[in-house]
Amino acid sequence: MRPSGYFDIGYGKDMAIMRTKTHWVFLGLLIVFMLLVPWLPFIDVSWLTFINFTLITIIAVLGLNITTGLAGQVSIGHAAFVMLGAYTAGILTVKSGLPFIAALPLSAIIPAAIGAVVGIPALRLYGFYLAIATLSFQFIAVYVVMHLTSITGGSNGLFGVEAPSVAGYAFDTDHKIFYLILAVLAVAIFVSVNLMRSRVGRAFVALRDNWIAAEASGVSTYI
C-alpha cells in the first residue's frame, strides 16, 4: 500500500505554484473564462469598461503589494508613480511620436528611476516616517504635473493620445484593449510571483518580519 496525498520530492516540487493536475485544470479554466469575458452575453460596453479599469487597478496594486505586502513598508505615494507612468506613456507618444510598443516599457523604467532617486533620502525611514515621506512625494508629483502645462496639459489633461497600436493593429475598442490589458496583467503577475520566490523576495519578507534580525542575518536593508 502506498500512502495517499501529494509529496514533495525535490526543491522544484516544493516551490511549484501549480502543485497538482487539479491546479492546472483550474488555471486553464480561468484563462479560458478571461479570454471569453468580452463576449459573454451579460457583459455590455459599460461593464467591459469597468472591467478594464479594474484590471488596470489590479496591475497597480500588484506593485503596491510588493512594497507593503511583501516588504512591509507603508507607502502612500504609490498612486504618484502610477500617474507618472501614465503621463510618461502619453507624453512620449504625443509629444515625441514614439510608437506605443516603445513607450510602454519606458513608462515603467522612467518612474522606477524616479522612485530610486526619491528612495535615497528615505533609506533610513520606517513605518510612519516612510509613509509621510511617500505622501509628501505624491503631493510634489501632483503639483509638478499640474503646473507643467506645456508638457502635461495641467488640469485640462493631455490631449491627442491615440489608441495604442502594435504592428499596425489598433486597440481602439473596449473589446480589443481588454486583451492588451489582460496581457500586461499576465506579465505583471508572472514577474510579481517570481519576485516573491526569488532571493530578493525572501529578503523583503525578512525585512517585513524583523528588519533587525534581517540585518543580523546579512540582508542589506538599504538596497
- Asked, for residue 9, whether it belongs to a domain, the answer is no
DSSP 99: -
How far is Cα 54 from Cα 58, in angstroms, rounded to an integer?
6
- Asked, for residue 30, whether it belongs to a domain, the answer is no
Give pLDDT tens digits for 196-222.
888 888 888 888 887 778 777 777 766
Answer for the pair 174, 38: CB distance below 8 angstroms, yes or no.
yes
Give pLDDT tens digits for 102-139.
888 899 899 889 888 877 777 677 777 888 888 888 88
Mapped onto helix, strand or coil, the DSSP state of residue 18 is coil
- Asked, for residue 77, whether it belongs to a domain, the answer is yes
- Asked, for residue 4, whether it belongs to a domain, the answer is no
Give me the domain span that covers residue 173: 43-209
Distances (CA, A) of 92 to 36, 97, 110: 32, 6, 11
Give pLDDT tens digits for 57-111.
999 999 888 888 888 888 888 888 899 998 998 898 888 888 888 888 899 899 8
Name the domain count of the chain: 1
Task: Check pLDDT > 80 for residue 9.
Answer: no
Write the single-letter amino acid at 190.
F
- Asked, for residue 19, whether it belongs to a domain, the answer is no
- Asked, for residue 53, whether it belongs to a domain, the answer is yes
